[in-house]
Amino acid sequence: MWVKDSGGDLGTLTESGLAVLRLDRLRALTDVYPGVEREDEMVAAFDHCAFGKGGAAPSIDTAMHGLVDAAHVDHIHPTRGSPSRPPPTARS
């Protein structure tokens, strides 16, 4: 599975900004998932799922992409009200 790196931008994405993971290993993590209160610990398990050496750090959304049974999974993060982007009326 190819997934955008953590913090990367789709507008400037190149191959080096992609994490490559073995989907079978990623899906097997459901067998060791400790629950919502400890799910941040699962990010370290993504290293076990890497396909080959190197590559970008997987996004925090990687698990969602890997567990949805579809050839392509896309999602967006709303920008209105985002601290990194002013509302449309505030832009010059």
Q: Which tens digit of pLDDT belongs to each residue from 61-90?
A: 787 778 888 888 877 766 665 555 555 554
Tokens 């993971």 found at: 21
What are the tens digits of pLDDT across the range 6-41? 777 778 888 888 889 999 998 998 898 888 888 888
One-letter amino acid at 23 equals L
- What predicted TM-score, i.e. pTM, was given to this entire model? 0.66
- 13 assigned to some structural domain: yes
Number of structural domains found in the chain: 1
Task: Determine contact, residues 73/1, Cβ cutoff 8 Å.
Answer: no
- 32 assigned to some structural domain: yes
What range does the domain containing 64 cover? 2-77
- Cα–Cα distance measured from residue 31 to residue 28, given in angstroms and rounded to the nearest whole number: 6
Token digits for 75?
């999602």
